[in-house]
Amino acid sequence: MNLELSVTEAMSTPVATVTLDTTAYDVANILKDKGIGCLVVLNDAGKPVSIITERDLALGVASRNLKSKEVIVEEIASPKLIAIAPKSTIMDAARKMDLENVKRLPVIDGDELLGIVTVSDITKLSPELFNIMVETNEIHNSEYPYSGTEEIEGICEICGSTDSVNYINGRYICKNCTEDSEGEDE
């Protein structure tokens, strides 16, 4: 297990971006068309200042019954950019994600956006690190354990794929394996 790999070895490039005046409607279409879950937000000078996720759209537009063509990114994006430096390791990224309760970290050198690293990127490079993250999360959440009702990024304990998984009967299982096991029960 190589936890000293640089985040630059794990990050995805190029990073999809939007500006502060982009509409929520356009953000939703970009996310859908690119099949991604977030966009980095740039100010007028091209400096990364925030991130906008599918969750931001849901909470900022849909849950308030607003019109997506009338809401701009500046009104609903995360107020604080949580990023990581390129010299950081994937272990540093995992710790920061856990501490800040985020799944994605833009990799920024000064004002330059180099890439983005996600939980999924890290688990593909170091499945063992995912297990450490799960154990740490279980310790932190022992008072309020994960219910398994929402998907998280992880490794399926049945087929080994790195995908969205649910915690079912004490194991992390992907959607395909969940459907397969339900079919066997019938």
Task: List residues forming the annotated binding site for Zn(2+).
Answer: 156, 159, 174, 177
Longest dimension (CA), the chain: 59
Question: Which residues are part of a known binding site for Fe cation?
Answer: 156, 159, 174, 177
- Cα dihedral sign for 145, 150, 153, 154? positive
DSSP H or E stretch at residue 120: helix 119-125
Question: Which residues are part of a known binding site?
Answer: 156, 159, 174, 177
8 Å CB contact between 83 and 49: no
Exposure string of 129-161, with b = 16+ CB inside 10 Å and e = fewer, is: bbebbbeeeeeeeeeeeeebeeebbbbbebeee
Helices and strands, number each (H, E), in the chain = 8, 8
